[in-house]
A and B are shown apart, each in its own frame.
Chain A
Amino acid sequence: QKEVEQNSGPLSVPEGAIASLNCTYSDRVSQSFFWYRQYSGKSPELIMSIYSNGDKEDGRFTAQLNKASQYVSLLIRDSQPSDSATYLCAVDGASGGSNYKLTFGKGTLLTVNP
């Protein structure tokens, strides 16, 4: 059974600070990693995908992947109150025909204080 672990939070940061969200996964052969943002009462929205070790930047968001440590993180620079949401980490298990199913973590609640 593939597992994706996230700290449930809440993670509270002041406006303008860097928010760091972390995720670990159990399936060593996983190849694809995603971060979704979910506002309260709404559906998840894809914000980042990462497939290779290292960093991937998109605006204020940076995803970091370390396959050796089975660890993926999301950094949000210059955090804004509008970033307050639950962030879901999702991992694809690519071992022998996983049919591109994703396993989701339970999410980390981020609160950005003005």
Chain B
Amino acid sequence: DGGITQSPKYLFRKEGQNVTLSCEQNLNHDAMYWYRQDPGQGLRLIYYSQIVNDFQKGDIAEGYSVSREKKESFPLTVTSAQKNPTAFYLCASSIVNTDTQYFGPGTRLTVL
């Protein structure tokens, strides 16, 4: 059953803690993306990667970090430097050199 999985579905973080959101895909897609969605807002790009061991900052990368050690996995770390991390985080993937993106189910992060 091909698709994109994200875990956990809900995540609660205390202020000052780093947390890592998981994104895995078995679609054999080369490109992967992380977006953030706030209520009433569109999706904003955090980081993206088109190939293993390479990634680029998106529009709102400050306070976030990523790695791409495997084609199937693109974890996102929300660091304590991110001032307002409470949001819905969405991972997406696409075949490289195409622009059709497919989304995972998302992780809802809440800072306590």
A-to-B contact residues, CB < 8 Å: 4, 8, 32, 34, 36, 42-46, 49, 88, 90, 92, 99-102, 104-107
Contacts and interface: CB of A to CB of B under 8 A. Distances in A.
Chain A interface secondary structure, helix, strand, loop or mixed?
strand
A110 B105 CA distance: 21
Contacts of A42: 105-106
Interface stretch (B14-22, B66-74, B95-103): B95-103
Contacts of B61: none
B99 A44 contact: no
Given A34-B100, A99-B50, A99-B56, A104 B105 contact: no
A41 to B, nearest CB: 8
Nearest to A49: B100
B41 A106 contact: yes
Contact of A46 (B44, B102, B105): B102
Contact of A107 (B35, B42, B104): B42
A43 B99 contact: no
The size bracket of the interface on B is: 20 to 34
Interface string B20-58: 000000000001010100001111110010100000101
A8 B103 contact: no
Given A46-B100, A99-B50, A88 B42 contact: yes
B42 A106 contact: yes
B19 to A, nearest CB: 19
A4 B43 contact: no
Given A43-B104, A43-B105, A43-B106, A100 B31 contact: yes
Given A36-B103, A101-B45, A104-B35, 5 more contacts: A44-B43, A100-B97, A100-B99, A104-B43, A106-B42
A100 B98 contact: yes
A4 B106 contact: no
Contacts of B48: 99, 101
Nearest to B100: A49
B31 to A, nearest CB: 7
B84 to A, nearest CB: 18
B90 interface: yes
A102 to B, nearest CB: 6
